[in-house]
Structure 1
């Protein structure tokens, strides 16, 4: 990921990005110079089934 700060914040400190070719989104957080992926979620799933992000 070239610039992880360019993607929108969902709930602090989490951010998300939509993958281009697939209906998935990555939720991640930034700690120092590390990017930690917290979840990879399918957009057709109900948000009620998503982990507490």
Structure 2
């Protein structure tokens, strides 16, 4: 029981680490700059309107 729990924990952390470091990184670099640009544009527009 304990060994199985430990193994599951290791697999879970491995999966989280893989997603956080590997695939998510490429997705972020492709996706986040556009979102940031849109958000910055909206912020600027909102400030200019006020």
- Give the TM-score band, short-chain normalised: under 0.3
Bigger Rg over Cα = 2
- Ranked by relative contact order (alpha carbons within 8 Å, sequence separation 6 or more), the top structure is 1
The TM-score normalised by the length of structure 2 is: 0.18
Q: Which is richer in strand?
A: 1
The TM-score normalised by the length of structure 1 is: 0.17
Q: Which is richer in helix?
A: 2
